[in-house]
Amino acid sequence: MTRPAPAPAARPRPSRPGTGGARATPNLLVDPTRANVIEVVTPEGVPLPFVVASIGDRATAVFLDLLVILGVFLAVLILAGLATGDGFGSSFIGAFALLAAFLFRTFYFTWGEARRASTPGKRKVGLRVMDARGGPLTVEAVIVRNLLRELELFLPILLVLVPDHLVPGRSGLLRAFSAFWLLGIALVPFVNRRRQRIGDLLAGTIVVVRPKAALLADLGRSPAPTSAAAPAATHAFTDAQLDVYGIYELQVLEEVLRRARGPAADRNAVKAVTDRIAAKIRWVGARKSLDEEAFLRDFYAALRGRLERRMLLGHRKADKHAK
Amino acid sequence: MSDAPLKSYEFRREREPAWRELETLLAKAERSDVRRLPAADLARLPVLHRAALSSLSVARAISLDRNVVAYLEGLCVRAYGVVYAARRPVFEAVGAFLRVRFPRAVRANGGPLLLAVLATILGTGAGWALCAADSERYYAFVPYELAGGRDPAATTSFLRDMLYRNEHGAGALAFFASFLFQHNTQVGILCFALGFLAGLPTFLLLFSNGLMLGALAWLYDSRGLSLDLWGWLLPHGVPELTAIMICGGAGLVVARHLLFPGRLGRLESLSVHGREAGVLVMGAILLLFAAGLIEGVFRQTVTSVPVRYAVAASGFAFVGWWLGFCGRERRT
């Protein structure tokens, strides 16, 4: 049912006519030919793009989780210490506290991922664990990827903090060698495309981003007036003028328009794009008195209408170079 | 130019309420747990999920609104995680694990496990033989902290007392048991994790564990205390050594499929058999928990040699039955 995305990043955009399945569709925000996207075909036959989490995000998540573990560790031990006083080392409470702290540290990740496919740290950052081939995430896979964490995370931490505990004896060479070895293990996620650490490789899992895209207003339909003074102007374009551009340009225009409002508004881009389009389509109207944003919105609506209608008839014009 | 509204606009107007409903549902499911959703919501979920998938297909075909496609992709990805993440209730999974999954995994990996057993036996034999040849070597095999004064320089009566002393209170015993469990678990996990480094460290760890055992056995045998030593060692040694060897075996399973992936690709072979190895380690951790209890509490309180041997024998019988016969498919 599933297949990983193909490796080549510089695959040319297919511009053959017709829709021909979603893989031939350049109409994806996340392009499945990009290296960090895993494509999974659902049982319904729809390919879905899963974006592999970046190493920075994952490091942040682990850091947050370690903070939680450390906090609980300290809280449990301090409480138990207060409850037992000097007799900590010879009491049931002390034994229980140590056991609880140990179990918490060992199974914190496993428990969270087995139940909800993510730990609190991962949820905060917006990540989740999934089966690398899109199947259900099994408890076994979660157990394996987190047992290996012992080797990849806790052992190096220990090596840095208390090297004598790990490599007893005097041999500096042996110590350097084991440090080198552990460093090699830590580098594994950097050298594979899907950012899998050894635990992931062994369990067949990947960590993906939980998508956050929100549904925004349709630009093509309700062109809001840019200012109270200027009523929604209607600019008319001929088919010849619209045929100058293709889908790629349309979607760039969409980005420009969506960024034209809001706190990070970029008015210069609107002006530059308007100049460019007006020149390119040989716009005959008055350039000086033109309401730039309204003009772009009208052009966007007209262009999208033209391209979508042509698409329904089997002509997918990928960009301005396509026929 | 025609003034008819765009198909993509009509499409969005028609489908948007269902997308919004799914979005709210997903937010609820992601905040707590799918199983905590009300029945009505649960019934809606797959319907809305399929509707969103179909919307995505349509949007990819007819709509050039990038935001709509990106939104639908995100929505479907999130729904996929909720709908197809088949998670079993934890307790049901634990039961099936103990009765079927773990014993079967042990039987399925006889080869690597046998190798782990051999490494331990080899280490034990070597430890005994080397110490018998030169008692100074004892200090090299048994770390000072673990020896606790049990070395060739100790008197026979001291060595004997070490096996039968009981100066701790009950709380201290629990503390001791908890410490032993942690220590052994970490050794076991390491044994497994080091398997990824081609298995050599796993083999070394098992071998040196055997060396320690052999050296200790030689020391007590040289004072004529063999019977007492094994009575002290075996009750917890049966689950503990079994567990360590299973962990080592799991490490060797990983190493084997790393070095000789066979017909599968190397990574694929690893991910298939890595899970199997994880099952082994998880079971071994449970065995270690039992061993920690026996070692920390039983060993300190029961000093009768026959009782110790009886416990060891029944432990052996149980482990043998559990790993050898439990969860077998019935032949019809």
| The pLDDT value given to residue B72 | 92
The answer to whether residues B103 and B129 belong to one domain is yes
In this predicted structure, which of A37-46, A303-312, B139-148 has the lowest mean pLDDT? B139-148
The answer to whether residues B181 and B143 belong to one domain is yes
The answer to whether residues B78 and B203 belong to one domain is no
Q: How near does any CA of chain A get to the CA of B176, in Å?
A: 8
- On whether residue B332 sits in a domain, the answer given is no
DSSP reduced 3-state for B74: helix
The answer to whether residues B46 and B143 belong to one domain is no
pLDDT band for B93, please (50, 70, 90 cuts): confident
- On whether residue B298 sits in a domain, the answer given is yes
Q: Could you tell me which residues come within 8 angstroms of residue A107 by beta carbon, excluding any fewer than 6 positions away? A: A146
Contact B46, A179 (CB under 8 A): no
| The pLDDT value given to residue A143 | 82
Q: Distances in Å between the alpha carbon of A126 and those of A40, A123, B126?
A: 20, 5, 53
| The pLDDT value given to residue A136 | 83
The answer to whether residues B22 and B101 belong to one domain is no
Nearest to B244 by CA among B305, B321, B180: B180
The answer to whether residues B167 and B289 belong to one domain is yes
Are A98 and B270 an interchain contact pair (Cβ–Cβ within 8 Å)? Answer: no
pLDDT at B52 over 90: yes
Q: How many CA atoms lie within 13 A of B10 on its CB side?
A: 7
d(CA A317, CA A93): 72
In this predicted structure, which of A115-124, A289-298, B275-284, B301-310 has the lowest mean pLDDT? A289-298
| The pLDDT value given to residue B166 | 61
Give the number of other CB atoms < 10 A from CB of residue B38: 9
CB contact, 8 Å: B21 with chain A?
no
| The pLDDT value given to residue B62 | 82
Among B33, B65, B87, the domain boundary falls at: B87
The answer to whether residues B194 and B219 belong to one domain is yes
pLDDT at A13 over 70: no
Joined tokens for residue B145 = 């902290």
DSSP reduced 3-state for A128: strand
The answer to whether residues B23 and B142 belong to one domain is no
> Burial code of B218-247, b = ≥16 C-beta within 10 A, e = fewer?
bbbbbbebeebbbbbbbbbbbbbbbbbbbb
Which residues of chain B have a CB within 8 Å of the CB of A247?
64
Q: How near does any CA of chain A get to the CA of B261, in Å?
A: 13
pLDDT at A90 over 80: no
CB contact, 8 Å: B85 with chain A?
yes
Average pLDDT, stretch A143-158?
Answer: 78
- On whether residue B331 sits in a domain, the answer given is no
CB contact, 8 Å: B68 with chain A?
yes
- On whether residue B140 sits in a domain, the answer given is yes
Instruction: Name the residue of chain B whose CA is nearest to A200's CA.
Output: B271
Residues of the domain holding B299: 95-325
Greatest CA separation for chain A: 92
Q: What is the pLDDT of residues B7-27, one digit of tens each?
A: 788 888 888 899 999 999 988
* ipTM score: 0.76
pLDDT band for A293, please (50, 70, 90 cuts): confident
More confident residue, B153 or A29: B153
pLDDT at B142 over 50: yes
- On whether residue B77 sits in a domain, the answer given is yes
More confident residue, A262 or A104: A104
Mutate which: B196, B257, B258, B282, vs A, most A CBs within 10 A: B196
Total domains in chain B come to: 2
Facing B76 at nearest CB: one of A27, A48, A137: A48
Top-ranked range on mean pLDDT: pick from A113-127, B194-208, B272-286: A113-127
Q: How near does any CA of chain A get to the CA of B219, in Å?
A: 24
Among B21, B55, B87, the domain boundary falls at: B87
Average pLDDT, stretch A101-112?
Answer: 85
Q: Could you tell me which residues come within 8 angstroms of residue A146 by beta carbon, excluding any fewer than 6 positions away? A: A107, A109, A110, A113, A199
- On whether residue B330 sits in a domain, the answer given is no
Which residues of chain A have a CB within 8 Å of the CB of B15?
none
Q: Could you tell me which residues come within 8 angstroms of residue A53 by beta carbon, excluding any fewer than 6 positions away? A: A127, A195, A207, A208, A209
pLDDT at B70 over 60: yes
CB contact, 8 Å: B87 with chain A?
yes
The string of DSSP letters for A27-62 reads --SS-TTSTTEEEEE-TTS-EEEEEBPPHHHHHHHH
| The pLDDT value given to residue B125 | 94
Nearest to B312 by CA among B300, B329, B294, B297: B294
d(CA A185, CA B19): 43
pLDDT at A239 over 90: no
Which residues of chain B have a CB within 8 Å of the CB of A130?
81
Are A143 and B75 an interchain contact pair (Cβ–Cβ within 8 Å)? Answer: no
Find residues 261-300 of chain A whose CB sits inside 8 Å of chain B. Answer: none
- On whether residue B103 sits in a domain, the answer given is yes
The answer to whether residues B154 and B70 belong to one domain is no
Instruction: Name the residue of chain A whose CA is nearest to B92's CA.
Output: A139
Facing B53 at nearest CB: one of A42, A49, A92: A42
Among B52, B87, B122, the domain boundary falls at: B87
Are A91 and B271 an interchain contact pair (Cβ–Cβ within 8 Å)? Answer: no
| The pLDDT value given to residue A168 | 54
The answer to whether residues B26 and B48 belong to one domain is yes
Average pLDDT, stretch A205-232?
Answer: 67
Give the number of other CB atoms < 10 A from CB of residue B182: 19
pLDDT at B118 over 90: yes
The answer to whether residues B113 and B194 belong to one domain is yes
Joined tokens for residue A228 = 């109270």
Percentage of chain B with pLDDT > 90?
17
Q: How near does any CA of chain A get to the CA of B301, in Å?
A: 16
pTM of the entire predicted model: 0.73
**Beta-carbon contacts below 8 Å between A and B:** 233
- On whether residue B215 sits in a domain, the answer given is yes
* Mean pLDDT value across chain A: 75
Facing A92 at nearest CB: one of B174, B270, B272: B174
The answer to whether residues B48 and B175 belong to one domain is no
DSSP reduced 3-state for B131: helix
CB contact, 8 Å: A202 with chain B?
yes
Average pLDDT, stretch B72-98?
Answer: 80
pLDDT band for B48, please (50, 70, 90 cuts): very high
| The pLDDT value given to residue B283 | 87
Q: What is the pLDDT of residues B75-87, one digit of tens each?
A: 999 898 888 776 6
Q: How many CA atoms lie within 13 A of B95 on its CB side?
A: 5
Which residues of chain A have a CB within 8 Å of the CB of B192?
147
| The pLDDT value given to residue B122 | 94
Nearest to B27 by CA among B89, B81, B85, B88: B81
Nearest to A166 by CA among B200, B194, B161: B194
Which residues of chain A have a CB within 8 Å of the CB of B255?
none
Are A130 and B74 an interchain contact pair (Cβ–Cβ within 8 Å)? Answer: no
Instruction: Name the residue of chain A whose CA is nearest to B251's CA.
Output: A148
More confident residue, B36 or B179: B36
Are A201 and B170 an interchain contact pair (Cβ–Cβ within 8 Å)? Answer: no
Q: What is the pLDDT of residues B166-217, one digit of tens each?
A: 655 556 666 667 777 777 777 787 777 777 777 888 888 888 888 888 988 9
Angle between helices B7-31 and B39-62 (to 10 degrees): 140
Are A204 and B275 an interchain contact pair (Cβ–Cβ within 8 Å)? Answer: yes
d(CA A80, CA A74): 10
CB contact, 8 Å: A89 with chain B?
yes
